[in-house]
Amino acid sequence: MKRHPRTVHLRESVVCLARLLQDTPHSAFPVIHKPDQDHHEVFVGTITRMELCKLLQSERIFESEDLKSDVYINQLSYEEISTERLSKLATTNQVINKYISDPKYEDVFINLEPYINQSATTVHNGFSLHRTYRIFRKLGLRHLTVVDKKNQVVGIITRKDLMEFNLEEMLEPSVCQPKSDTELMFLMSMPHESSHDI
């Protein structure tokens, strides 16, 4: 796995998101949240690069540092945010550069809670490589967040990471054995802290 992956907070600054998209080619990011001052930051879901780009193009959902907008009034619809590709890459780059260079966006935030995938699959950092590969294969995943016993993000695994080690050849015989849906759900069930305190 890649350790110390780039993460975003549940309520993140527009400038940080713009810099993240400018500096990294990643297709998705783990989202973390600190429920209270005495708590550590825990994994609460994932958000894709395409979704972040769509959000940054919609200033109506932006919030000031001290004033939170009514997210349910300003929230983008599923149709507005769901996309496989951006129609105008040049426009997206212009928007990103504007947020980074214009000081007025330094104290502007986006509440990502309505847009993240809160049911994103995770594995524990002690999970077996064989079972991780099976989850990737059966669910058709592109990335998988790795968490510790406290549900803190410690890494991320991509399909490319698994393919680089010729795992398909090493694990294929056992992977091809039929497995029940019940067993697959058992493999993915990991004890971790609940994120329902958000």
* pLDDT tens track for 137-162: 888 888 899 999 999 999 999 888 77
Q: Do residues 6 and 49 make contact, with C-beta atoms less than 8 angstroms apart?
A: no
Model pLDDT for residues 47-81, shown as the tens digit of each residue = 999 899 999 988 889 988 776 655 556 787 777 77
**pLDDT tens figures, 13-30:** 999 999 999 999 898 999
Name the amino acid, one letter, at 36: D
- Reduced DSSP (H G I as helix, E B as strand, rest coil) percent helix, strand, coil of the chain, to 5: 40, 20, 40
- Name the least confident of 57-61, 111-115, 116-120: 57-61
pTM summary value: 0.77
